[in-house]
Amino acid sequence: MSNILITGGAGYIGSHTAKKLGQAGHHLTTLDNLSKGFRQAVLFGDLIEGDVGDMELVDDILKTRQIASVLHFAALTVVPESVENPLLYYWNNTSKTRNLIECCIRNRVRNFVFSSTAAVYGIPESGACSETSPLAPINPYGTSKMMSEIILRDAAAASELRFVVLRYFNVAGSDPDGDIGQSTPNATLLIKVACEAALGKREKLYVFGTDYATADGTGVRDYIHIDDLAQAHVQALQYLQEGGRSTTLNCGYGRGLSVREIINEVEDQHGAALPVEVAPRRAGDPPSLIACADAIKETLKWQPKYDNITDIVRTSLAWERDRKW
């Protein structure tokens, strides 16, 4: 089993992936500054509290722990925040990723799995986005990730580093065993916010825009269960370890759900209406983002297990009700 560095491994997506890798017997080192993550979410291996932008620290970890593979989750991810503070996003997401890649190359790391986003596609011209759709981000968050992808591509072409870029669509849900979940402070994600509103942890849920050119006027997204996404990382790593070529893959199910449909599902499962208020569109939001998910199924032989909104909302509500932290 290999030595793996997981940046941002105490955060939402990183911790769910780390749990699967730990269960499979890999030796894990998590590097996390705990700005958004939780010590308790690190279930396997060592947690080093530090910043991925600290090149001296990263060099030391890669060298002394003989790291062969890096999964890079550490990032800021909130679209409206990136519109307000673009330089923070370019520094935190792009510059630090560039520096991490430099450390990886000089320490002979072979495999790099990078967390990218559907936000690189901007407002797709039609239907589902495939990996070859034009990259035209409409917010600094998407641009920060697009630039990181380009840096990774070029640096890998000039070295022995190989990568899988995973472009996440909308990640939701919690660990089906209930060990870990989404506890990000001041969360902005729709399903998380809706569950908080259902359980009285938030006064109300704002629907950001009801005048989009979508079936019911609200934003449409391709929600993917965290467990399926974590499994995609496990298989991406395995693919690289078996000699797979560098590639970029969408992570979604290939179907869209509107804000209203999500609210209906949460209300059905909770058994009561949510306190909802219509609000203006949110800065940086595209009307609709849906994945074409053929490539990931073909390349990684990935098959989703939770491709239904019932399981996504059920596990989200369960975590929100019984949160351990």
Task: Give, in order, the Cα–Cα distances in Å from 112 to each of 8, 36, 101, 246, 283.
Answer: 14, 22, 9, 9, 32
Q: 12, 89, 121, 141: which one is catalytic?
A: 141
Name which of 288 and 299 has its Cβ closer to ligand UD1: 288
Query: Which segment (36-44, 71-79, 83-91, 125-133) binds ligand UD1 by CB under 6 A?
Result: 71-79
Quote the distance between the C-alpha of residue 236 and its chain's center: 14
Task: Give, in order, the Cα–Cα distances in Å from 229 to each of 16, 37, 98, 240.
Answer: 9, 18, 24, 17
Cβ-proximal residues to 205 (8 Å cutoff; 6+ apart), any chain: 193, 194, 197, 263, 274, 275, 276, 277
Binding residue for ligand UD1 (CB under 6 A) from 221, 225, 233, 260? 221
89 binds ligand UD1 (CB under 6 A): no
Q: What is the DSSP letter of 75?
A: -
Name which of 130 and 159 has its Cβ closer to ligand UD1: 130
Q: Please, what is the minimum distance in Å from the beta carbon of residue 321 to ligand UD1?
A: 19
Positions in 9-68 near ligand UD1 (CB under 6 A)? none
Q: What angle do CA 47, 176, 291 make, to 5 degrees?
A: 90
Query: Which segment (37-45, 95-103, 113-121, 304-312) binds ligand UD1 by CB under 6 A?
Result: 113-121
289 binds ligand UD1 (CB under 6 A): yes
Which residues of the chain form contacts with ligand UD1 (CB under 6 A)?
A: 77-79, 117-119, 169-170, 188-190, 193, 205-208, 219, 221, 259, 282, 285, 289
- The residues annotated with a catalytic role in the active site are 141
